[in-house]
């Protein structure tokens, strides 16, 4: 039997990167997957790629940080597949790279909304179905930036730290309903997003891009970045029966860099 056989999983931020890889992996492991993102073309492409590979997936075009959209995401999941029993809150924007004195209030709220508020809203509407079904699993994709910080990224660090606090509180609250809640805190993950982060950090610190990229890799004992597959594999494990007694944890994926 596959790792996620019988699971009905919502994955937000599924248009590309970790979310797209996660959608493929969850489907390959037997889950029926609801791919959620704001970009119609990209999220429909993700769902189509999953189906072409033999998986079962639908696309929902929605902004998970908007309450009506979050409610609709869960409603469309139930209509298509049945009650959700796995939720991965992966949606989130990086926000600007700016000194705090130049960081606008609007940008700060927007960054909180994209990662933290979206996770709260999707969980809020998914939990009643998990309770009725006798249990489920929730995974919040946080970041090592929540633990060690990152200069010029106050909104992002705050949003990701909030996800860790939310994970701890929800795990205590939902445990009696047989619902596990965990967070994953990736370090540097190879891909387009980290390249944008490296370029922005280099500009903010007046440093060469190559030197900044090297610093991101060299602080890892394994001397490499993680991959989207590394994050997706851990999320799948945490949503499986193999992790039924793991809850309230924030698990780093850092290629060995201390948390």
Confidence of residue 11 (pLDDT cuts 50, 70, 90): very high
CATH topology of domain 8-253: Rossmann fold (3.40.50)
C-alpha span between 228 and 163 (Å, rounded): 19
Q: What is the mean pLDDT of the chain?
A: 95
Q: What pLDDT is attached to residue 1?
A: 66
The tens digit of pLDDT for each residue in 100-144 reads: 999 999 999 999 999 999 999 999 999 999 999 999 999 999 999
Provide mean pLDDT across the span 187-211.
Answer: 85
103 is catalytic: no
For residue 135, give every residue at least 6 positions away whose Cβ sits within 8 Å of its Cβ, in sequence order, or none: 85, 177, 178, 179
Q: Where are the domains of the chain?
A: 8-253
Q: Exposed, middle or buried: residue 125 (CB in 10 Å: 0-12, 13-18, 19+)?
A: buried
Whether 206 has a pLDDT exceeding 90, the answer reads no
pLDDT digits (tens, 9 = 90+) for 17-42: 999 999 999 999 999 999 999 999 99
Question: Which residues on adjacent β-strands are paired with residue 109?
Answer: none
Rounded distance between C-alpha atoms, residue 71 and residue 9, angstroms:
15
Distance between CA 16 and CA 31 in Å, rounded? 19
- Find the catalytic residue in 103, 109, 125, 156: 156
The pTM is what?
Answer: 0.94
pLDDT of residue 203: 84
pLDDT on residue 195: 86
* Chain segment 140-181, per-residue pLDDT in tens: 999 999 998 889 999 999 999 999 999 999 999 999 999 999
Asked if pLDDT for residue 9 goes beyond 80, the answer is: yes
pLDDT of residue 196: 85
Asked whether 4 and 236 are in contact (CB, 8 A), the reply is yes
User: Which tens digits make up the pLDDT trace of 216-235?
Assistant: 888 889 989 889 999 999 99
């Amino acid at each position: 039997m596959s790792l996620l056989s019988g699971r009905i999983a919502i994955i937000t931020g599924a248009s590309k990167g970790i979310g797209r890889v996660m959608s493929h992996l969850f489907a390959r492991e037997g889950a029926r997957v609801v791919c959620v993102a704001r970009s119609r073309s990209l999220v429909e492409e993700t769902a189509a790629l999953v189906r072409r590979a033999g998986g079962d997936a639908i696309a929902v075009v929605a902004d998970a940080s908007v309450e009506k959209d979050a409610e609709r995401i869960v409603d469309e999941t139930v209509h298509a597949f049945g009650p959700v029993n796995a939720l991965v809150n992966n949606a989130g924007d990086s926000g600007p790279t700016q000194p705090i004195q130049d960081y606008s209030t609007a940008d700060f709220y927007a960054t909180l909304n994209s990662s933290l508020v979206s996770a709260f809203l999707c969980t809020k509407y998914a939990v009643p179905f998990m309770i009725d079904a006798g249990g489920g699993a929730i995974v919040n994709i946080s970041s090592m930036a929540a633990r060690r910080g990152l200069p010029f990224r106050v909104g992002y660090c705050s949003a990701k730290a909030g996800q860790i606090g939310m994970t701890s509180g929800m795990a205590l609250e939902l445990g009696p309903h047989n619902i596990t809640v965990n967070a994953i805190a990736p370090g540097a993950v190879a891909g387009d997003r980290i390249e944008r982060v490296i370029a922005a950090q280099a500009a903010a610190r007046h440093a060469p891009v190559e030197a900044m990229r090297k610093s991101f890799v060299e602080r890892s004992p394994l001397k490499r970045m993680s991959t989207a597959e590394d994050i997706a594999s851990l999320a799948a494990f945490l949503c499986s029966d193999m992790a039924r007694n793991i809850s309230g944890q924030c698990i780093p994926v850092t290629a060995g860099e201390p948390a």
